[in-house]
Structure 1
Amino acid sequence: MRKQDLINQIADRTGIPKVDVLVTLETMFKEVKENITKGESIYIRGFGSFYPKRRAAKIGRNIKKNIAVNIPEHYIPAFKPAKEFITEVKANCKEQVS
């Protein structure tokens, strides 16, 4: 599913114009990005948490040149689904596969 498909589904189910749904989704994505960039976590009850995950500094290898490369500490965006979400996915995926 692409973003446009999601917009179409939300608009069809709610009756809200597609333009308004697009603006709302884009604003939500922007806010999530900005808050994670600031180091803040976002928790959406029943869905999950978006948070910045710390990666420790380490030494990597460049296999082609056979040299060690220092990889500095950095942060990446991460998502942890809520228990309710995990349970629902497990239950529904079993039904679809069987």
Structure 2
Amino acid sequence: YVAPRELESILFKHDAVLDAAATGHFSEKEATEVPIAFKSQVLAEKIQSFVNEKVEPHKKLRGGVRFIHRIPKIEAGKTLRRVLKEQLKNDKMI
């Protein structure tokens, strides 16, 4: 298990990251859920390398980094990870 908040706390340490979210995403290739990060307006490879250098192998962003216009949140600021997973499942990342 990889705690999304752990990855998010690392993402927020990157100078170019203003907002970010992380969740698991099922990978048919690996036959398991893999960590994936959501970020807007930053180069994916730099973000992925930044996080991967700071975590254990099973926590690396093997699912990659996705760029989206806005991270879905409730009014209180909590990230709606279920919405992110649903968008990934339906391939509707916007």
Q: Which has the higher contact order (CA 8 A, sep 6+)?
A: 2
TM band (smaller chain): under 0.3
- TM-score scaled by length of structure 1: 0.23
- TM-score scaled by length of structure 2: 0.24
Larger radius of gyration: 1
Which is richer in helix? 1
